[in-house]
Each structure stands twice: as C-alpha cells, then as structure tokens.
C-alpha cells in the first residue's frame, strides 16, 4: 500500500475521522498535556464516591470513542469484526491479538490461555482472519520467564494454544517481550515450531530486528530449520521404503497364494478328465 497517496492510503477513513486522529496525535505528542491529563484521569477513576459514578462512565465513554477506537478494533471478537470486514473489503487481512499481559496467578493465566484458544476457534470460522497473536506474559509470570527453563504450567499453556492452532489450521504468532526474558520465550517457541511445523508453518516467532543480536539468531533459526527439514525428509523416505517393502511382501504373498490356488484347480480338473 502506498501511503504517499493519501487518497488511497486512507480510503476507509472519512475526513472527520482523519481530523479526529490528527487532533488526538497532536494532543498525545504534547508531553505537558499528556502528563497532566494522566494524573487527572487516574485521580478521577480511583474515586469511589457515588456522585461521581456518572462522570466516570462519561470518561470511559470518551476514552473508548476517542482513544481506544484509534488503536483497537473492539473489546470482543464480534465487535472487532466490523473493522476486520471493512479492511477486507480492500483485500487487507487482519489478525486477532489478545494483548493482555501481567497476570497475577495461575487462575488468571488459565483464563487468558482459554481466551486465546477461543480467539483461534473464532478465527477458524472467518476467511479474513488467517492467524492470531498472543503475548507470553498473558499466560505466565515475568519472573518465570527470567529463568532459562520455565515451569511446566507455562509450557502446557503454550502447547494447548499451539495445538489448537494446529488443529484449526490457524497460524499463531507469539509476540516478543522484554529482552531479558526473550531467550526463554524463544526456547519455548522453538519447541512448538519443531512439534507443530512439520507439514506447514503454524507457529511463528517474533524477531526484534532493532536488537544487535537478532540477525545472528535469525540465521541460526534458518540453519536449524534446514537441518530439521532434512531430518523430516529422511524420516519420510525411510517410512516410505518400509511401507513399500511391506506392500511388496503382500503382493508377492498374494501372487504365491494365487499360483498355488491355480495349480490345485488345474490339477483337480486334470484328475476329473
């Protein structure tokens, strides 16, 4: 898409929506307004007085209409489809990204894991949602990822999500996180790739190319992939040869039995004559 041609690039936006976006980004880019506004908003939202409930609802409505809608498609999968369908009318595909992070306990992580699985189920029924995305910190503690070897519970959640994506033929992209926990995430994603990417690519990792070490890591992934592909091809060749030998044995055995049966038939007819 060529964004230097604004008529094409922003064809789905009305003049009013574009002016609203310009106003919003102008306000956000002003550090003083952003700082003061953040303090006021936090103060109003934290108040628990009954008389201010209506004001809080009004603030929530403003934030949803002015800020949230600028960056997100909707609170739910079905609400997001309005934007998804609009983009698809111009042959632009979308993806569902469950961006919650920083859960507090295993119960919340399990809920987030199920939500990602639900989004995969939902995407599998829509031709304009070829893949979905989730953040690893939505299903595990940051302190756990700081360890080189994560807990079994985090592995199980990763596996449940990737298995569902494999079953539904929906590509799953694992979002990148902070650099000091990315190694553990990379290890997990590589495990899922080896397990579920044998036929087609289902599991995808995110490589932050602004990091100085990521090009080296990307090349290592390429070498690992080439090696794994050769192993898969050799294994399939061995399986094919084994299967072919078994089929040849069956054919030879059927031919042998057929010859014996023909011999007895001919012999019986000779005796009768």
pLDDT digits (tens, 9 = 90+) for 148-185: 788 899 999 999 999 999 999 999 999 999 999 999 99
Please compute the mean of the pLDDT values over residues 111-123 and round it to a whole number. Answer: 93
H helices of 29-105, in order, are 31-46, 53-62, 69-71, 77-88
> Where does the pLDDT of residue 61 fall: very low under 50, low under 70, confident under 90, or very high at 90 and above?
low
Instruction: Specify the higher pLDDT residue, 118 or 7.
Output: 118
Mean pLDDT of the chain: 80
Task: Say if residue 133's pLDDT is above 60.
Answer: yes
Give the per-residue pLDDT at 164. Answer: 96
Task: Say if residue 202's pLDDT is above 70.
Answer: yes
> Where does the pLDDT of residue 136 fall: very low under 50, low under 70, confident under 90, or very high at 90 and above?
very high
Give the per-residue pLDDT at 263. Answer: 53
Give the per-residue pLDDT at 114. Answer: 93
Instruction: Specify the higher pLDDT residue, 223 or 47.
Output: 223
Give the per-residue pLDDT at 80. Answer: 85
Contact between 217 and 206 under an 8 Å Cβ cutoff? The reply is: no
Q: Cα 38 to chain center, whole Å?
A: 32
Retrieve residue 92's tokens.
């632009």
Percent of the chain with pLDDT over 70: 76
Block residue for tokens 């390429």 = 222
Contact between 184 and 146 under an 8 Å Cβ cutoff? The reply is: yes
Q: What is the pTM of this model?
A: 0.71
Looking from the CA of 199 toward its CB, the CA atoms found within 13 Å total: 4
User: Which among 60, 77, 76 has a CA at the least distance from the CA of 68?
Assistant: 60
Query: Rounded to 5 degrees, what are φ and ψ at 207?
Result: -110, 120
Please compute the mean of the pLDDT values over residues 190-209 and round it to a whole number. Answer: 91
Give the per-residue pLDDT at 242. Answer: 72
Host H or E run for residue 179: helix 179-196
Give the per-residue pLDDT at 149. Answer: 80
Give the per-residue pLDDT at 132. Answer: 92
């Amino acid at each position: 898409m060529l964004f230097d041609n604004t008529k094409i690039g922003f064809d789905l936006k009305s003049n009013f929506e574009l002016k609203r976006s310009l106003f919003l980004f102008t306000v956000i880019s002003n550090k003083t307004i952003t700082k003061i506004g953040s303090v006021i908003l936090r103060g109003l939202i934290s108040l628990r007085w009954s008389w201010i409930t209506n004001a809080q609802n009004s603030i929530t409505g403003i934030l949803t209409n002015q800020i949230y809608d600028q960056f997100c498609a909707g609170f739910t999968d079905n609400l997001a489809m309005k934007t998804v369908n609009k983009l698809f009318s111009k042959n632009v595909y979308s993806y569902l990204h469950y961006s919650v992070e920083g859960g507090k306990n295993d119960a919340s992580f399990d809920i987030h894991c199920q939500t990602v699985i639900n989004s995969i189920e939902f995407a599998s029924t829509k031709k304009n949602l070829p893949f979905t995305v989730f953040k690893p910190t939505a299903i595990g503690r940051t302190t756990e990822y700081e360890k080189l070897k994560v807990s079994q519970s985090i592995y199980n959640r990763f596996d449940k999500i990737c298995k569902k994506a494999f079953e539904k033929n929906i590509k799953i992209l694992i979002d990148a996180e902070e650099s000091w926990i990315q190694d553990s995430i990379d290890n997990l994603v590589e495990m899922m790739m080896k397990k579920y990417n044998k036929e087609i690519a289902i599991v995808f990792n995110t490589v932050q190319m602004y990091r100085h070490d990521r090009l080296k890591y990307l090349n290592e992934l390429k070498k690992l992939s080439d090696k794994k592909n050769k192993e898969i091809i050799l294994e399939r060749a061995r399986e094919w040869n084994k299967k072919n030998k078994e089929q040849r044995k069956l054919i030879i055995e059927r031919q042998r039995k057929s010859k014996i049966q023909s011999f007895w038939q001919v012999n019986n007819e000779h005796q009768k004559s």
